[in-house]
Chain A
Amino acid sequence: MVLTYFLLVVACWIIGFVLWKKIYASR
């Protein structure tokens, strides 16, 4: 369970980072 939890945290990072790139970091 706890390992799945950390995997889901990583998944959120990927989604968040893609959104961040798209919305905030595009020059």
Chain B
Amino acid sequence: MLTNSSVVLWTVVLLLVIYFAFVTWIGKRGSAHSHSMNGFATARGKVSPVLVGASFATSYASANLFIGVPGLAYEYGTSVLWYTLGCFGVSWIGLLLFAKAFWRYGKKLGRVSTLPEWLGRRYNSKTLQVLVTVLILFNVYYIVGQNVGLATIFETVIGIPYEWGIVIGVTITILYIGLGGAFAQMVTDGLQGILMAVTSVLIMVSLFWTIGGGFNVFGVLTTQLEAIDPGLTGAVGTDGPYNSVLAIMAVQFMLFSFVLMPHLLNKVLSIETEEELAPFTMSAGIILCIISILMVLGGLAARVLFPALESADSAIPVYVIEAFPGVIAAIMIVGIISAILSSTDSLYLGVTTSIGNDFYRVVAPLFMKNISDAELDQKSVKVAKGALIVVGLVSLYFSLERPESLSILIQFSFSAIISGIIAPITLGYFWKYANNYGAIASLMTGTTLYVVFTSFNIVENIYLAMFFSSLAGFAIMGAISALTSKGSDQDLLLRKSG
């Protein structure tokens, strides 16, 4: 228990109550949109593109960037800065390069609201659509990482035992999502973006009084880190996942392709007209920059100030409590909680929408022959809403055993997904002979190889494992598509839908 913890605790509780009341109010205003599958999933055209950009950035920045990566910086030092640099620079450039192409193609294919649907239409394959949905279930581990983040905050700030922190975290998350839907999510993401940006900037500014040294604050920080361990201040780490130039390049490859994550690409699909892509991408870039590059400095400072923490992931919560007066610390804690909730809601929505839209809706007609379209749509929404509770409970179960590093766990989950979908998405757009046999083979190969590489320690570095399995995915897809292609699949498809 910390001395000013009761001030912090009650301020946090009060702010969360106000926050949830606001979400409920917005959710009520938006509930008119959430009865159809399309409205539930994307709230298309109802929200300003600037807010959709904010929503992209806040969904991108999760417990990983606000707690996990500063934890890695606490552990391994300045080589971790390559990760946060890529989170803004490389990912934003990735978004700029992919967004327009992906959006235009989505328009050509008709109204698609999720990535599995996009892939299913492009390759004219229901099998692929269902397989991608199964792959998205890897996101449960991503959600587990968010639960661990919440529990770490509760443990550090209020002294709640870890297991109870997980239960409270999952309850808060489910409650939060149940109150809103996609419309509430988009609107509140704008508010969360502001809260997260304020928290990030405060962390950066606080170095002036926690580390000191005036304008030479970063020089002082580096000197003090060097005094602890010279390995903490190199551009390439001596230890940890960033210990070679090749690994750092593989990190950039991963962050470049991270924008292909289904819960992020779904945001691009919710943009209504091509003109709106400009404010969307700019707003995403500005907010992503502020909220992704600054928090990591808190992890470095924590290493200097509190070198003996039991868990590296608690670096940021401890730093916030120690460096700021009670009320400010409480606002920042709510800022970090909102960083987690804004990602978790998109992840849950992505997983449950895919279960409803891409799994149930595709598979159910095989068993119920004479179901009407309207009835199927309604049932799909019900299945999606029911899946919310199931996914929450599964993630709770997986969270009970604390992972060594929440960042590495989260990165495992999304690398597994990206390894499977990177070739089908990029080749589907750029190569007209890409077909469903190639896409299915690539999806199976990429993800399986990644899981095998990491589980059996064949490729020790998780980033290199992802790079090699993605490469294999491209090779398999190219070979199989070339062997089985009968004329251009793409032309055939566009003629059919156009």
CB neighbours of B475 from chain A (8 A): none
Q: Which of A1-27 contact B (CB under 8 A)?
A: 1-5, 8-9, 11-13, 15-16, 19-20, 23-25
Task: Identify B100's interface contact among A11, A12, A24, CB under 8 A.
Answer: A24
Q: Looking across the interface, which residue of chain B has its beta carbon closest to that of A5?
A: B81
Q: Is B337 close to A, CB under 8 A?
A: no
Task: Identify A12's interface contact among B90, B221, B233, B281, CB under 8 A.
Answer: B90
Q: Is the CB of B93 within 8 A of A2?
A: no
Q: Is the CB of B285 within 8 A of A16?
A: yes
Q: How far is the CB of A17 from chain B (nearest CB, A)?
A: 8
Q: Is B203 close to A, CB under 8 A?
A: no
CB neighbours of A16 from chain B (8 A): 89, 92-93, 96, 285
A4, B81: Cα distance in complex, Å = 10
Size class of B's contact patch?
A: 20 to 34
Q: Which of B85-130 contact A (CB under 8 A)?
A: 85, 88-90, 92-93, 96-97, 100
Q: Is the CB of A20 within 8 A of B78?
A: no
Q: Is the CB of B289 within 8 A of A9?
A: yes
Q: Is the CB of B85 within 8 A of A20?
A: no
Which DSSP category, helix, strand, loop or mixed, fits chain B's interface?
Answer: helix
Q: Is the CB of A19 within 8 A of B89?
A: no
Q: Is the CB of B285 within 8 A of A20?
A: yes
CB neighbours of B281 from chain A (8 A): 20, 24
Q: Looking across the interface, which residue of chain B has its beta carbon closest to that of A15?
A: B93
A25, B412: Cα distance in complex, Å = 36
CB neighbours of A15 from chain B (8 A): 89, 93
CB neighbours of A23 from chain B (8 A): 96-97, 100
Q: How far is the CB of B185 from chain A (nearest CB, A)?
A: 24
Q: Is B297 close to A, CB under 8 A?
A: yes
Q: Is the CB of A24 within 8 A of B85?
A: no
Q: Is B490 close to A, CB under 8 A?
A: no
Q: Is the CB of A12 within 8 A of B96?
A: no
CB neighbours of A8 from chain B (8 A): 85, 89
CB neighbours of B233 from chain A (8 A): 1
Q: Is the CB of A2 within 8 A of B222?
A: yes
Q: Is B235 close to A, CB under 8 A?
A: yes
Interface residues of A (CB under 8 A from B): 1-5, 8-9, 11-13, 15-16, 19-20, 23-25
The 5 closest A-B pairs by CB, nearest first: A12-B89, A2-B218, A24-B278, A1-B78, A5-B81
